[in-house]
Structure 1
Amino acid sequence: MANILDFSTEDNLQYQFFPVSSGSVQFKIRAANDAHIALTMGPQESDPMYEVFIGGWGNTKSVIRRNRTKPEKVEMETPGILNAGEFRGFWVRWDSGIVSAGREGESIPFISWSDPEPFPIGFVGVCTGWGASGTWKIEDGAEFNTPDKLEYKFGPVAAGSLELEYRGPHNCHVSFTPAPAEIDPMYEVILGGWENTQSVIRHCRQKPDKVTLPTPGIMNANEFRKFIFEWRCGRLTVRDGNTGAVLMEWVDPSPFPITHFGVRTGYGARGNWRISHYYRDGAKPLPPSAPSVAALYSSPPGYPGSAPVIGNAPIVGGNGVWVDVTSGQVPPGAVVGGQDCSGEPLYVARAQHQGAMIPGKLVASHGCAYIPWGGEEHGKSEYQVLVGGPNNWVPTNGSNIPPGAFPGGESEDGEPLFIGRVNHEGSITTGKVQQSHGVCYISFAGQELGFPDYEILMS
């Protein structure tokens, strides 16, 4: 796409498409109402498809629609958001199934929706209609600012981490909440507070602070400082964005699901922000169709007892296939094996490690799958997800592998590994069953944990 693309759209609801190679597009539009943006796989109006309508219904509200069907996935009241006499700037972003739209100069969207079955986006289309013609300028994005005002601007979280850069004299405030509002429960991280001398972690806006750390000079009004925030099962970690060193950490004994973050400045400080939350560098979109994958335990085609084949993809027990994906992507039809302590679904996954193929769990918000091995939890950005397979779990224990248990991998020594799950600290977590060890291993909070009582996935 050119740096700036100028063109006009008539009042005919006919999209004009152009290719995109990143996870966002920014534009200016001059129209009385109904600026429509389509996100598609190809240069035409076809499913699957996202549509973002800005200033629809007489310039009173905006919506996100999927596959041109109602009801709307989400709608927001946005009276007067467009203007026929002047250009108004907006952006649309997509990352891991989260589609968001916001105003120029603001990184926080005014509307967003998370698609449980995302698809790769290769083209953007624009049009106007319902009595409106439009003039467009499609261009690149920019950073945004926050005023000296203790009021959070909120956005949806797309992963179990948030990376941002802040330029300001002091008081970089970041919050994490279960809704796009300043409500309890709520975590707050204040970096460079108290005239740039101290940083804290606060819970539910209450004192005393959970963590207090002297940080003289941590912020600078003339240069950006990078930070990474991570959360998992109640453990909130703040890292230096350049070195990765842990600055502060706190574990909440009663964690809640985090769905939004907020940013603000105050106490005499104005801030400039760059937020990398919406599009992670290196993230790969889902392929248009499931790639062919070899089953670990299938005989050659035509051999007695071999698995049936559809195309080049072998079908394993329960009509399931293992699909190669990366970076937190969840292919359509993925088998849900449990849920994290935050309530997020965990998918049945497996990954290569040290010469073994090890069953584990996919945590989409973390951008990776986790497998247990050698006493530790290992994150894998490249993994396989079980698609279209069985979801029949049978309780068992020890080395008692029932007939018909679903094979999920093999150890580095060639021993078959099966897929199991256990209840642990408010989660239902999937992992590997190793018969010779008599336990189901799961990865949890950085460790490999073994359980003699577990459920096993059946074909």
Structure 2
Amino acid sequence: MVNCNNLANNRLPTVLNSWAQQAPRDLQTEDKLQYNFFPVTSGSIQFRVRAPNDAHIALTTGPQESDPMYEIFIGGWGNTKSVIRRNRTKPDKVEIETPNVLNGGEFRGFWVRWDGGVVSAGRENEALPFISWQDPDPFPVSFIGFCTGWGASGTWKVEDGQEFSTPDKIEYLFRPVMNGMLELEFRGPHDCHVCLTRAPADVDPVYEIMIGGWQNTQSVIRHNRAKPDKVTAPTPGIADPNEFKKFLIQWNNGRLLVRDGATGQTFMEWTDPAPFPVTHFGVRTGWGARGQWRIKHFWRSPTDPQPLGPSAPPAALYAAPPGYPNAQPSGYPGVPPPGYPRAPPGNAVWVDSSNGQVPPGANPAGRDVSGEELFIARAQHEGAMLPGKLARSHGMAYVPWGGQEHGKPQYQVLVGGSNRWVPTSGANLPPGALPAGESEDGEPLYVGRVNHEGSLTIGKVQQSHGVCYIPYGGQELGFQEYELLMS
């Protein structure tokens, strides 16, 4: 157990460096509003807490309770509501009713993440936050603190560690996953195995992705450990015992994509006709191989450079759902750095980006069914430059082509512009529509958006086809009625 006097004695516990130990950090917090602080190395953390009320989490720049600071109070006010507070001041930034969210007799699991100034918290195995707020003046987070109070003592189990090893043993190490993509780096001679499950165990249903199997000669996708394999791809030399190799694994409505992290090229793809919700991933090596891993979920590390953002916030295009950041800029306040593409008022520029990053000044132009903001993006595919949508939490942009939705970790984002949308239909393009790309045949493509199944989804308008195509649920869907983006 961690001694609660560590803070007073100014002695910080050592960060765990290996998930292979499978030992979460345990700590006790007394009925005393005093935080226990620990260093963090990523933009998210999972924990479980047993307390009757008032589980408090602090995010800070240093190992002490000082400004700037975010506080997330879970189960406060007699276990009736939760809030986010900045710098210990009122009014609270967000307040959400959460009756009985905590329990003094059992552990309840939660996650907290911070990304681009967005601070949010959610329940274990749930991808969407129950509370979230976007700070217009964010700061880098380097430490996290835990405490209880107001009549509550608590027991916590906190997971740590970003880099870990797997032994030569056919046994998965499991962790929760909170979105539809993993970015992993693997160093080992062969047999990089990843599974996706709906429980922290090797039970059906399960997807298995085996990279560099059969002595580093081929890779496969397997379902429920059954043969024949769903996909087999020759991949000689794909793993390396001396160098970390990056891979991206994406899943969406049963569609699995496995990509080379350096080039973005898809080398395996399969769609499950009967998909299941993925809540956990597992990793392992075996068959004579040991491996070292780095895995992240696309949340910015505190050590990453903090980008600057627009000097004025963009206009909101829709009402955000309760608990989600309201009309706030997605970047950081201030003046863009020298050399950053700046759009004069009314003009638009396309800015290169990747892996879910949103450049300063990009305006939200749609929303996913979850309520997450979508941005206007475009990417190259099959000789075309295709407009589409960027979902930051997925770590990529999506473009429609050939009847399918295609994920792109490398893309361009629209910054600036008029943000004016005009309802239209078919091939009727009003004068002043913003050209945003071209088909593989050289036909100009424009930006459109469509309300579909609770989403406001961005896609491409191809005049010769008389429709707006959107990427949605793994498919390319066409609509004759749509909104068109004007220049």
Would you call these one fold, judging by a TM-score over 0.5?
A: yes
1:42-441 matched pairs, under 5 angstroms = 49-50=71-72, 71=98, 94-95=114-115, 114-115=128-129, 117=132, 119=134, 120=138, 122-123=140-141, 124-127=144-147, 143-147=163-167, 148-158=169-179, 160-167=181-188, 170-194=190-214, 198-213=218-233, 219=239, 223-231=242-250, 233=252, 234-242=254-262, 246-256=266-276, 258-266=278-286, 270-277=290-297, 279-280=299-300, 292=312, 323=329, 325=331, 328=356, 336-337=366-367, 339=369, 347-351=373-377, 360-370=388-398, 380=411, 382-383=413-414, 396-399=425-428, 409=434, 419-421=448-450, 429-433=457-461, 438-441=466-469
2:393 aligns to what SS in structure 1?
A: helix
Deviations 1:221-266 (A, max 9, x none): x535424133255543334445655543334455555443221334
Deviations 1:40-98 (A, max 9, x none): 69965899633589xxxxxxxxxx985686638976999899xxxxxxxxx98645769
Identical pairs, percent = 39
Question: Following the alignment from structure 2 to structure 1, what is the Cα–Cα distance between the partners of residues 330 and 69?
Answer: 23
Deviations 1:107-145 (A, max 9, x none): xx98886437453454544556668799xxxxx956223
Tell me, yes or no, if the aligned pair for 2:378 and 2:399 is still in contact at 8 Å. no
Deviations 1:17-45 (A, max 9, x none): 8998963699xxxxxxx995412699658
Q: How many residues align?
A: 381
Tell me, yes or no, if the aligned pair for 2:220 and 2:231 is still in contact at 8 Å. yes
1:365 aligns to what SS in structure 2?
A: helix
Q: Which residue of 2 aligns with 1:6?
A: 11
1:236 aligns to what SS in structure 2?
A: strand
Report the residue type matching 1:350 in the other structure: I
Max Rg structure: 1
Deviations 1:162-190 (A, max 9, x none): 222243x5543201234544454432112
Question: Following the alignment from structure 1 to structure 2, what is the Cα–Cα distance between the partners of residues 7 and 397?
Answer: 63
Question: Following the alignment from structure 1 to structure 2, what is the Cα–Cα distance between the partners of residues 314 and 285?
Answer: 23
What TM-score do you get using the length of structure 2 for normalisation? Answer: 0.53
Question: Following the alignment from structure 1 to structure 2, what is the Cα–Cα distance between the partners of residues 15 and 72?
Answer: 24
Using a 3 Å threshold, how does the CA distance of structure 1 residues 338 and 149 change in structure 2: closer, same or farther?
A: closer
Tell me, yes or no, if the aligned pair for 1:65 and 1:73 is still in contact at 8 Å. no
Question: Following the alignment from structure 1 to structure 2, what is the Cα–Cα distance between the partners of residues 208 and 353?
Answer: 34
Stretches of structure 1 that go unaligned for 5 or more consecutive residues are 27-33, 54-63, 82-90, 102-108, 135-139, 294-312, 402-406
Tell me, yes or no, if the aligned pair for 1:394 and 1:455 is still in contact at 8 Å. yes
Stretches of structure 2 that go unaligned for 5 or more consecutive residues are 1-9, 14-28, 47-53, 76-81, 85-93, 321-325, 332-352, 381-385, 439-443
Tell me, yes or no, if the aligned pair for 1:163 and 1:275 is still in contact at 8 Å. yes
Question: Following the alignment from structure 2 to structure 1, what is the Cα–Cα distance between the partners of residues 243 and 104?
Answer: 35
Deviations 1:265-294 (A, max 9, x none): 34565543222335457978798x98526x
Report the residue type matching 1:248 in the other structure: M
2:292 aligns to what SS in structure 1?
A: strand
Question: Following the alignment from structure 2 to structure 1, what is the Cα–Cα distance between the partners of residues 318 and 297?
Answer: 38
Using a 3 Å threshold, how does the CA distance of structure 1 residues 72 and 351 change in structure 2: closer, same or farther?
A: same
- Give the root-mean-square deviation of aligned CA atoms: 6.4
Using a 3 Å threshold, how does the CA distance of structure 1 residues 438 and 172 change in structure 2: closer, same or farther?
A: closer
Tell me, yes or no, if the aligned pair for 2:466 and 2:480 is still in contact at 8 Å. no
Deviations 1:191-238 (A, max 9, x none): 344565653210232211112345566556x53542413325554333
Question: Following the alignment from structure 2 to structure 1, what is the Cα–Cα distance between the partners of residues 73 and 319?
Answer: 35
Tell me, yes or no, if the aligned pair for 1:98 and 1:114 is still in contact at 8 Å. no
Deviations 1:341-387 (A, max 9, x none): xxx66745335899xxx9742323333445679x999764644699x
Tell me, yes or no, if the aligned pair for 1:323 and 1:384 is still in contact at 8 Å. no
> Is 1:454 equivalent to 2:470 in the alignment?
no
Tell me, yes or no, if the aligned pair for 1:377 and 1:443 is still in contact at 8 Å. no
